Chain A
Amino acid sequence: MAISVLIPTPLRKFTNNEESVTAEPGTVASLVADLERQYPGISRSLLDDKGELRRFVNIYLNEEDIRFLEGKETPVNEGDSVSIVPAIAGG
């Protein structure tokens, strides 16, 4: 079973407008690499020149922000779901 990844609107041009795609288990970093293999160009929006996650990108593993977990090295296991979400203004 693969990991389901929710794709936000700004990135759907890379995924043929698919809202949700699948990727291989591993870590958040390997998942982003897997997305890039499947959808060339997508990681440029997620990673900066040094390969770090861009500061306005939020990635959630199940319900949790990965910055509360192990960041890019957070393990992603079978059955997990991952969301990539842009930041939202206050309210």
Chain B
Amino acid sequence: MAKVLGLRCRECGEEYPIAPVHVCELCFGPLEIMLNWEEITPRVSRASIEAGPSSMWRYWDLLPVEGPPTVGKNVGWTPLVKAENLGLELGLKNLYIKNDAVNHPTLSFKDRVVACALTKAREFGFKTVACASTGNLANSVSAHAAEGGFEAYVFIPHDLEQGKVLGTLVYGANVLSVTGNYDEVNRLCAEAGDKYGWAFVNINLRPFYGDGSKTFGYEIAEQLGWRAPDHVVVPCAGGSLISKIYKGLHELDRLGLIDGGVPTRMYAAQAKGCSPITTAIKTGAEVFRPQKPNTIAKSIAIGNPADGYVAMETVRKSGGWADDVTDEEVLDGIRLLGRTEGIFTETAGGVTVSVAKKLAEQGRFQPDEIVVIAITGNGLKTQEVVVGQLGHTIGIQPNLDALDRALATENLLASAAR
């Protein structure tokens, strides 16, 4: 028997056979994977997972592919860092960073979704893959296409950070730089989607793509010693990741693999310049209003999030909350995480850290509770935004006199004397 029974509309419940389709024909709602639990449950245990590879594929039984992984075999199993120093600043004794800034191979959580989507793309028989991207997905699709021998077409907004553009071109993808924001890139790709018969990872492969994010949640629970955290703070762009982390925790619970159930509250983090999801949650609105993004946090600048409702429902159902921060606070968040934990995150991570700080200040976490901050991308890719924001270098001639003078001038002698 197959692991996946089919696809089901999250909105109206209509069911579909396994195919590269992503929206319900009846209501345009998102389609989700229906796993065959009867087949899966008997063969999954803590021991079976722990005996698996040190990658996201240790959870192969719970991912929507039928064969072995063929693309992205080393993705995932990133560190869950106990953040003692940041915890001191925020008044939290059990604060953790799930650090996908060092995910293999392209340094963001997107490697998880792409490994899953391209392994499925090969099973479907596609030769060409594509995506609409704010940068991280572009990097990941391009790299994995190179690994898997696919031709790749990557669509990005024209004003992306250089690191993200170069980090796509290097793998040999065809990069189409679109004059417009991500929502406009999205619309173009939706219209182009089926015309060329490509595997668009976030369009026609969306159900298979999305489930790769569940591994972010599985890993958190396993790395905490098979228990779910009390709180998880997640950056929101399209709104999928936050719901998949929550889904992942509940799936482990369903399998009886975690102790203490899932008390987890989920928190959405956005930048004020693009906050359709957090605004709706904070105002108690049923309907989110799309926005025209204006923020330095470009990787999460999606004004019309496809899974916005799913994200809102996840936050509400879990008893969590949401908040948003200014671009200045995004920079503060990047500096704070770097200074306290030695982790350099991109702008989205700056958003998440600063929102976590705000939530802590609002008293939403008890000091002993387990809080996880989802860091999903790497700061080396968005260097432009921190240029001139991180202090300055001290220029000297290569001799000791010059060093002495510089240390005196900079008032650093105290530390030099030690």
Contact = CB atoms under 8 A, between A and B. Distances in A.
Given A89-B240, A90-B306, A67 B289 contact: yes
Given A9-B193, A56-B29, A91 B23 contact: no
Contact of A10 (B23, B202, B238, B307): B23
Contacts of A68: 290, 292
B209 interface: yes
Nearest to B156: A91
Interface string A58-89: 10100101011000000000000001011111
A69 to B, nearest CB: 12
B30 interface: yes
Given A67-B289, A87-B23, A56 B132 contact: no
Contact of B206 (A9, A55, A58, A89): A89
Interface stretch (B83-91, B142-150, B184-192, B318-326): B184-192
A3 interface: no
Q: A13, A58, A91: which has the most chain B beta carbons within 10 Å?
A: A91
B210 A89 contact: yes
Interface residues of B, number: 50
A81 B287 CA distance: 26
Contacts of B206: 88-89
A56 B203 CA distance: 14
**Which has the most chain B C-beta neighbours within 10 Å: A13, A86, A88?**
A88
B210 A85 contact: no
Interface in B191-225: 191, 193-194, 202-203, 206, 209-210
Contacts of A8: 190-191
Nearest to B300: A90
B238 A55 contact: no
Interface string B338-349: 000000000000
A38 interface: no
Contacts of B27: 45, 48, 54, 56
A37 interface: no
B126 interface: no
B289 A91 contact: no
Contacts of B306: 56, 87-90
Nearest to A88: B186
B30 A56 contact: yes
Contacts, number: 107
A87 B10 CA distance: 14
B28 A87 contact: yes
A81 B290 CA distance: 21
Q: Is the interface of A mostly helix, strand, loop or mixed?
A: mixed
A81 B24 CA distance: 24
A51 to B, nearest CB: 14
Contacts of B28: 10, 45-46, 54, 56-57, 86-87
Contacts of B182: 91
Contacts of B305: 87, 90
B301 to A, nearest CB: 10
A85 B28 CA distance: 9
Q: Which of B25, B203, B304 has the most CB of A within 10 A?
A: B25
A25 B289 CA distance: 26
A89 B202 contact: yes
B240 A63 contact: no
B271 interface: no
A89 B191 contact: no
A7 B400 CA distance: 73
A51 B203 CA distance: 27
B195 to A, nearest CB: 8
A6 interface: yes
A65 B23 contact: no
A9 B304 contact: no
Interface string A31-51: 000000000000011101000
B133 A91 contact: yes
A38 to B, nearest CB: 18
A55 B286 CA distance: 10
A55 B190 CA distance: 17
CB-based closest 4 A-B pairs? A90-B238, A87-B306, A91-B137, A91-B133
Given A63-B184, A89-B238, 6 more contacts: A55-B287, A86-B28, A88-B306, A90-B300, A91-B133, A91-B136
Interface of A: 6, 8-11, 13, 44-46, 48, 54-58, 60, 63, 65, 67-68, 83, 85-91
17 contacts: A8-B191, A10-B23, A10-B28, A54-B28, A58-B187, A60-B187, A68-B290, A83-B191, A85-B187, A87-B23, A89-B240, A90-B241, A90-B307, A91-B133, A91-B136, A91-B186, A91-B202
